[in-house]
Structure 1
């Protein structure tokens, strides 16, 4: 039985929703702009190196006729109150989308089903690994393998003190005056401590990315360990 989990609730087990068919899972569109320049052949391409959101339509139905009106209200409350949340399909349980329901839910009486209705999810461009587990590095010159299809935006917890130079492939990040722990969050482009105090002034360089495949991580300075929340992702 096809189902989806959204906001921690399963469509079939918790609400008796039957998915009519496996939904289409589109790939995101890359943002590329083209410009015509007088006196020049062809067009000039500008690639933002970013992707647009995707839309996933799930055709749903209900077979059970008991307490339909109350169930409709409960289903709508679940889908809308979850806001932007994890969306996981039963046929791909190791991957998740970051999604939000964007359509008005209209229930229609049809043959065999008491009601049918589409659920339209607006999703961030990428799929993410459901089990986003922390990788702990205790020794420099470590190798971290990215199984995703594109570079990830990790959260890196650096434990140490003083001035530290962190190297990830050909990226170098300088950290000054570290006092126990500093957090580099590449997803939100911010540097802070456990109490969310802004520490961007202590960081020099670009926020690190982990390319698809092998990544070499090393450091100099007084570092006891690194913890990497990798945020692997796929197109």
Structure 2
């Protein structure tokens, strides 16, 4: 029995929704701009190294029991949830960040069933459901199992001037008191209290490439905690 979890609720156990066809999962489209130059063969390509959202269409049916109340409940759940986590039961270790973007229209069939279609607009990537942090107290490595670089959240626990090295990437911190959190996804640096610490950072926000990533540092550091945000195309 195919089902999905969305907004913390299960389509089958919570609402009795049957998925009538396994949904097709598209790959995200890479953003590449082609520029035609007169007198030049082919075209110039500018790769932004970014991806478009994807759309997942799910065909469903609902057994008519307490209609129309059940239909109202389903619509309220799917449309009212907004952007949330979507997990299909055929791949429970991966999740999407998704939102329902279509009107939910029910069509009665076979007297006791209503069919309908859900269209999820999703961010381009699948993310790991298990996003546990890795703690390093000495130089080491972190292995990215995904198919594209990840944008981690890195907490450096230490004091004073610190240099953090991830592969060929170098980030320098000035005058750290106790710790600093470097959020590559949000492009922001702060501490546990939410204080803005961007002025203490020099260098680009680091990413974790596919495969092994060597991690090292200099300065007074007691621990580096990496929440990886693994993802797949």
3-state SS of the aligned residue for 2:13? Answer: helix
Within 5 A, what are the aligned runs for 1:1-235? Answer: 1-63=1-63, 65-111=64-110, 114-140=113-139, 142-235=140-233
Q: Structure 1: any 5+ residue segments left out of the alignment?
A: none
CA shift digits 1:33-87 (9 cap, x unpaired): 1111122222111111000000000001012x22111111111111122111110
Task: From the superposition, tell whether residues 196 and 69 of structure 1 become closer, same or farther in structure 2 (CA, over 3 Å).
Answer: same
Task: From the superposition, tell whether residues 112 and 170 of structure 1 become closer, same or farther in structure 2 (CA, over 3 Å).
Answer: farther
1:113, distance to aligned residue in structure 2 (A): 5.0
The separation in 1 between residues aligned to 2:22 and 2:230, in whole angstroms, is 24
What root-mean-square deviation, in Å, do the aligned CA atoms of Structure 1 and Structure 2 show? 0.9
How many pairs were matched up? 233
- TM (norm. structure 1) is 0.97
3-state SS of the aligned residue for 1:13? Answer: coil
Asked whether the 8 Å contact 1:61–1:113 carries over to 2, the reply is no
Asked whether the 8 Å contact 1:55–1:123 carries over to 2, the reply is yes
Q: Structure 2: any 5+ residue segments left out of the alignment?
A: none
The separation in 1 between residues aligned to 2:220 and 2:111, in whole angstroms, is 68
1:197, distance to aligned residue in structure 2 (A): 1.3
